[in-house]
């Protein structure tokens, strides 16, 4: 009789562990879905139009990259936009045309002006607490 009770208890324990595992699996799936939805919501979609100026990300591997050198080159002009995310761009310097992935591009904004403003500086400033 005790062997039957021990066997039934063991079966119940195994079923309980399987239920706990299934609950953990479901909560993990819910967490992954929420994380993916949040990540996709935060991604900004890039859309390019023909004639737009863009910068290209220079992704060449260097052992000792220049600290102050920019990884963006350009500007380039968008010649054609494909449905699958590829973009055909043309160089302004030498006129070469080539295709790149749209994720390697960002819009080029021009027209920012740097204004040199002179400030009146006191020779002997007095500090008050």
Question: What local confidence, expressed as pLDDT, does residue 123 receive?
Answer: 58
Confidence band for 69, pLDDT divided at 50, 70 and 90: low
pLDDT of residue 61: 63
Q: How many C-beta atoms lie closer than 10 Å to residue 80's C-beta? A: 13
Q: What is residue 88's predicted lDDT score, i.e. its pLDDT?
A: 92
Q: Could you confirm whether domain 53-107 is CATH 1.10.10.60?
A: no
81, 87 contact by CB (below 8 A): yes
Q: Residue 118: its pLDDT value, please?
A: 57
The DSSP result for 34-83, as a single string, is HHHHHHHHHPPPP---TT-EEEEE-----SS--SS--SEEEEEEEEEE-T
Is the entire prediction scored with pTM above 0.85? no
Residue 29, token pair as written in the block: 């799936």
CA-CA distance, 98 to 105, in Å (whole number)?
A: 13
Regarding predicted confidence, which is higher, 34 or 72?
A: 34
């Amino acid at each position: 009789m005790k062997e039957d009770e021990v066997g039934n208890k063991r079966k119940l324990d195994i079923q309980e562990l399987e239920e706990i595992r299934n609950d953990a699996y479901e909560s993990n799936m819910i967490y992954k879905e929420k994380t993916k939805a949040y990540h996709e919501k935060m991604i900004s979609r890039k859309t390019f139009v023909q004639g737009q100026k863009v910068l290209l990300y220079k992704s060449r591997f260097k052992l000792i990259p220049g600290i102050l050198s920019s990884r963006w080159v350009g500007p380039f002009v968008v010649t054609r936009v494909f449905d699958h995310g590829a973009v055909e761009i043309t160089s302004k310097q030498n006129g070469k045309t080539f295709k790149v992935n749209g994720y390697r591009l960002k819009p080029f904004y021009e027209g920012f002006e740097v204004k040199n403003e002179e400030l009146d500086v006191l020779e002997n400033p007095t500090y008050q607490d």
